Amino acid sequence: RGVTIAVVVVALLAVVAVLEAVGLRPIDSDLSRPGSLMGTATDQGIMGAISVALLGSILIGAWRRTGHISRWAAVGVIAGAVSAVTSASRGALLAFAVVLVLLGIRWVLTSPHRRRDAVVAGVALALVLVAVFAVPLTRTRLLGQSALSVQTIGDRAVIWEDAWRIFLAHPWLGVGPSGYQDIVTAWFGDGWFDRAGVGSVLDSPHSILLQALVVGGVLGTVAALALLAAVVVAGIRGVRAARAARRDLVLGAACALVAAATALLTHLTSPDTLTALAVLTGILVATVRRPAPPAARAVAWAKAATALIAAWALFLGISMAGDAALL
């Protein structure tokens, strides 16, 4: 069921991405780049890349075990690849490249005919490269032939310099959650206003490492790295303990998280991608045990927790709908 949902989501993403890539705008937007269903082109590309990681791992595992192709997984991999390629986001394409390399390594290492399958992997990578350069917007951004693609590189340098200065001014505890947007305007120089204009709002330093430093300072970053280390250790144990289809799922989640982390080194965090990454982290660290019959008290607590979560989700949905007026 989870695979089916993932395939449907990424297929819808790919359909809209293709329409935008050919010049149509199924969703009214003033953006010059695709990404309507995800908000930004990079978020679209990241979602496509992590979909390829998860569903590609399932596809490879099913083929190795049974010799049959999982059709749903294959559709999802194609849709994810289309979403990543048409995004024209260099950060997302880097994440996609990481996914392809990791899946290619697994494809070869699990093969009884490694030389033959190494050739197959090489041909697949070549076809993807052709597809990347066949999309005009993607090609121009990769080659730096558009003014926007050159400008965004310079913008990153300015943003990162300002973020580093903010960190140096608040090194231990940072500026707190959501504090960056409030404080960064005091650090804008003439270079920023020349590039972005007077009315532009910046809510992220466009790098997950700098974001951790600015928001939490040294202490917060150390805590985040400790949590990351715990996830890595739990993930390694989970991969070793998993078998069959469960192993495919865990390996796919690990591959997707590595790829997304790569993209987030130069991109902002958003609920669109972080929600999916939270689910993938849960898959990676979860421990599968034989379920015991729940006690009556446990059932009651579960119902109460479900009702509380449902009420919270309703409140959150109403709050987010209210923000539509600000878009």
CA–CA gap between residue 47 and residue 222 (Å, rounded): 28
Instruction: Check residue 56 and give its pLDDT.
Output: 97
Q: Is the confidence at residue 299, as pLDDT, over 60?
A: yes
- 3-class DSSP state for residue 66? helix
Angle at 144 between CA 141 and CA 145, to 5 degrees: 90
Q: Which residue has the tokens 């994440």?
A: 95
Q: Is the confidence at residue 248, as pLDDT, over 70?
A: yes
Q: What is the mean pLDDT of residues 64-84?
A: 94
CB 42 within 8 A of CB 90: no
Check residues 274 and 298 and name the one with the higher pLDDT: 274
221: confidence class by pLDDT, cuts 50, 70, 90: very high
Chain mean pLDDT for the chain: 88
32: confidence class by pLDDT, cuts 50, 70, 90: low
Q: What is the mean pLDDT of residues 155-169?
A: 92
Q: Is the confidence at residue 264, as pLDDT, over 90?
A: yes
Burial degree of 271 (CB within 10 A; 0-12, 13-18, 19+): exposed
Q: Which amino acid is at 280?
A: L
Q: What is the mean pLDDT of residues 194-212?
A: 82
Instruction: Check residue 215 and give its pLDDT.
Output: 94
Check residues 290 and 55 and name the one with the higher pLDDT: 55
Q: Is the confidence at residue 62, as pLDDT, over 70?
A: yes
The structure's pTM equals 0.87
